[in-house]
Amino acid sequence: MKAIAIRRGETKPTLVDVPRPAPDDGEVLVQTLRVGIDGTDHEVVRGTHGGYPTDEDYQILGHEAVGVVVDATTTDFEEGDLVVPTVRRPPAVGSNTYFDRDEPDMAPAGEYVERGIAGAHGYMAEFFTSPERYLVSVPEEFAEYGFLVEPISNSEKAVEHAFASRSAFEWTPESALVLGNGPLGLLTLAMLNQDRGPYKSFDRTYCLGRRDRPDPTIDIIERLGATYVDSRTTPVPDIPTEYEPQDFIYEATGYAKHAFEVIEALAPSGVAALLGIPEDWTFDVDGGSLHRDIVLENKALLGSVNSHVPHFEAAKESLAEFPDWFVDELITGVYPPEAAERAFETDDGVIKTVIEFDTL
Ligand code: NDP
Ligand code: ZN
């Protein structure tokens, strides 16, 4: 079968021919429809994040997938069911408490592998297998865009943790700022702009980028009803005076200074969730001032990575609520597996691209 992989020592994805996997009992064989590409995939291809499966000289890419069950073996799935897989699996040495508790997203390094990212093959192939418990059913209308459930689920988890950190007192957030206008930032902005669940309370949303107009991401930000903030003219610490202090901040730039600058942009009792994954960078900060600010204004900072089944379930609800124009504008290219190299090319006109293996 066809698969898109990165070979050791290379920095471009290649189409490879590999054996079709065979499901064991309790596993499901899935025929892949579409696999999304995000910033993490680019980091894997560049070699700055994740790693190869042990003893393999290539890694099949892709962790955001949607596909159809073609062999349900002994599971409760049925052939024809549409599914989205989660990303983390137990390490080769066997299971551990995080997986036993169904909280693999809380496992520390070494206690998991990540399909398509770290230590395990991904979903960018005509078929993949997965144990039943790591597959989430999605409705038939998700055949085209269901791969977005995975990235949205990362944000559902971050927001759940942020709200949980403020649950000991009466917290009614009204302003929210997303740092980053990449695919994760834009998906999160759309999520926060829903008139549903915890998102209802946000009246005013902002999204930070560093682009000149005209730009397709700025168009999306404004069409969602949010305010575009340019970090070149309004650095994050100036946002409270230029706009307003922020009750909730979601960081998706991977720009390490933002992890500290958000403290100054938060309103009293506000919380910031950090999701970006920066490389090492040493710089000066006024640690005393930031420390004092967090303490005296009851602010919270949290890191959040990955997600699990409940977050995928929440993400399904968000995806179903997104306006059609939003996903159409977000997906700027759909490519066959043979055009993998083009699918990984980036410029300011590219927001999110997808590999299409099949359609329903
Ligand atoms: P991208 O790299 O596509 O997006 C990052 C965006 O941030 C870009 O649009 C970039 O702008 C913008 N940006 C970077 N620095 C600045 C700055 N100083 N001021 C304003 N804007 C800035 O990545 P994704 O959207 O796919 O993901 C975002 C981050 O989240 C990545 O670091 C990724 O690794 C991480 N991630 C974390 C997950 C988790 O579970 N924790 C899950 C998925 C992703 P421009 O394009 O103009 O350069
Ligand atoms: Zn991702």
pLDDT in tens, 10-63: 999 999 999 999 999 999 999 999 999 999 999 999 998 999 999 999 999 999
Mean of pLDDT values over 275-298: 97
3-state helix, strand, coil in the chain (%, to 5): 30, 25, 40
Tell whether pTM > 0.90.
Answer: yes
Mean pLDDT of the chain: 97
CA distance 313 to 311: 5
CATH class, 152-303 region: alpha beta
Contact between 305 and 109 (Cβ < 8 Å): no
Neighbouring-strand partners of residue 318: none
Contact between 112 and 104 (Cβ < 8 Å): yes
CA distance 273 to 292: 19
Q: Indicate which ligand has the atom closest to the C-alpha of 252.
A: 1
275 is in an annotated binding site: yes
- CA-nearest residue for atom 4, ligand 1, is 182
Domain ranges of the chain: 2-137+323-356, 152-303
Neighbouring-strand partners of residue 334: 354
Domains 2-137+323-356 and 152-303 share a fold: no
Report the separation in Å between the CA atom of 241 and the middle of ligand 2, taken as the mean of its atom positions: 33
181 is in an annotated binding site: yes
Report the separation in Å between the CA atom of 63 and the middle of ligand 2, taken as the mean of its atom positions: 6
Q: Indicate which ligand has the atom closest to the C-alpha of 187.
A: 1
Predicted complex ipTM exceeds 0.85? yes
For 336, other C-beta atoms within 10 Å of its C-beta total: 13
Tokens of residue 107, six digits: 């496992």
User: Position of tokens 């069911």?
Assistant: 81
Write the CATH number of the domain with boundaries 2-137+323-356.
3.90.180.10
150 is in an annotated binding site: yes
